[in-house]
Amino acid sequence: MPYQHVHLEGTAQTDSVDPDLHAAIKQATPQQKKHVFTIKHGDRQLVVKYPEDKRGYFKAFGERLYFSLLTNHNIPISAFQLKPPKERTHFEAARISELKKLNINVPEVVAVTADYIVLEHCGTRLEDFIRYGYASANKIERLVCNAAEQLAHMHSNQAWHGAPQVRNIMILDNGNVAFIDFEENLEGLPHLMRETYDILQFIGALIVPRYDSQPLIDLTEAAVERYIAIRGPEPLLQLKTYYKYLSTAKKLIKPFGSRVGRDATRIIVLCEMLESLLKREGVL
């Protein structure tokens, strides 16, 4: 069904939403517990997302400091500040259309206003595939490697994701990989740093998932290999300084053995993976 575009009173000129859909969203919103929820409209399953005002100055400052230290580059704080909520929906819509041009699977933008963005519902989180074993181990490895290839494809074309953790990667009903969640604004970073930021988010979330699980070292290494085959190792080589911090932290943590928590386990396994990678690439 084609959507009729209307300009809503009091919102930006570019806002576009079908009036029936807008009414349905306004009616459904008060009952929602989360800022992202699904809604059925006609025969379509849609996702409504309201921007959360979730990152203050100090969080952005902390991220800037952390990423500047780990890459050894002085990075402006603007690179870690989200757009104000009223601009973020249009920002996300623009990012989606930019990636669509590169043939990356992204949800169709059904409507966008200054208050919310509406996307077509697309698939199941890759994180849930891994967590609940929705596919065989071989199939999951193919999916993860495919996501890594698509990330490398974005990077090779001067594009980036901003938050490519497995919770923001979807598996469509036809088995293809798609990406969601484009609120991060890395515009202020040099492209190589965006790539480094992305690949670190990707492998950091994959190697030790958010739920209790053994570290997924082989799976992460397979994904890194696929990424490097397309993009080359440069974005990962920027993590040499990060590796050095990790290895100091690892020495402090390791004596506590299996009693360490998930974040500490992530430090240990990421450190070991980066060490063998950096050695293989001849930079250690």
Ligand X SMILES: Nc1ncnc2c1ncn2[C@@H]1O[C@H](COP(=O)(O)OP(=O)(O)O)[C@@H](O)[C@H]1O
Binding site for ligand X (CB under 6 A): 36, 47, 49, 107, 119, 121-122, 125, 167-168, 170, 180-181, 183
Q: Which does 260 bind (CB under 5 to 8 A by kind): ligand X, Mg ion, none?
A: none
Task: Tell me the closest approach of the beta carbon of residue 227 to ligand X, in angstroms.
Answer: 21
CB nearer to ligand X: pick between 67 and 182 = 182
- 119 makes contact, choosing from Mg ion, ligand X, none, with CB < 5 to 8 Å by partner type, with ligand X
DSSP the chain: -PPPPBPPTTS-TT-BB-HHHHHHHHHHGGG-SSSEEEEEETTEEEEEEPPP----HHHHHHHHHHHHHHHTS---GGGGPPPPHHHHHHHHHHHHHHHHTTT-----EEEE-SS-EEEE---EEHHHHHHHT-S-HHHHHHHHHHHHHHHHHHHHTT---S---GGGEEE-TTS-EEE-------TTS-HHHHHHHHHHHHHHHHHS-SSS----HHHHHHHHHHHHHHH-SHHHHTTHHHHHHHHHHHHHHGGGGGGS-HHHHHHHHHHHHHHHHHHHTT--
* Least distance between Mg ion and beta carbon 161 (Å): 11
Query: Which of ligand X, Mg ion, none binds 36 (CB below 5-8 Å, type-dependent)?
Result: ligand X
Task: Choose among Mg ion, ligand X, none what residue 121 binds, the Cβ cut-off being 5 to 8 Å by kind.
Answer: ligand X
Q: Report d(CA 125, CA 19) in Å as an integer.
A: 30
Q: How far is the CB of 241 from ligand X (least distance, A)?
A: 28
Q: Tell me whether residue 107 or residue 215 sits nearer to ligand X (CB atom).
A: 107
CB of 246 to ligand X, least distance (A): 26
In the complex, the smallest distance separating the C-beta of residue 208 from ligand X, rounded to whole angstroms, is: 18
Closer CB to ligand X, 168 or 220, in the complex: 168
Nearer to Mg ion, 126 or 152 (CB): 126
Shortest reach from residue 124's CB to ligand X, in Å: 8
Q: Which residue lies nearest ligand X, judged by its C-beta?
A: 181
Which phi-psi region, left, alpha or beta, contains residue 31 (left: φ > 0; alpha: ψ -120 to 50)?
alpha
Nearer residue to ligand X within complex by CB, 180 or 277 = 180
Look at residues 147, 116, 97, 101 and name the one whose alpha carbon lies nearest to residue 47.
116
Could you tell me the smallest distance in angstroms from the CB atom of residue 210 to Mg ion? Answer: 12
Cβ distance 17 to 9 under 8 Å? no
Nearer to Mg ion, 163 or 189 (CB): 163
Question: With respect to Mg ion, which residue has the nearer C-beta, 172 or 252?
Answer: 172
Positions that interact with Mg ion (CB under 5 A): 168, 181
Partner whose footprint covers residue 166, from Mg ion, ligand X, none (CB < 5 to 8 Å by kind): none
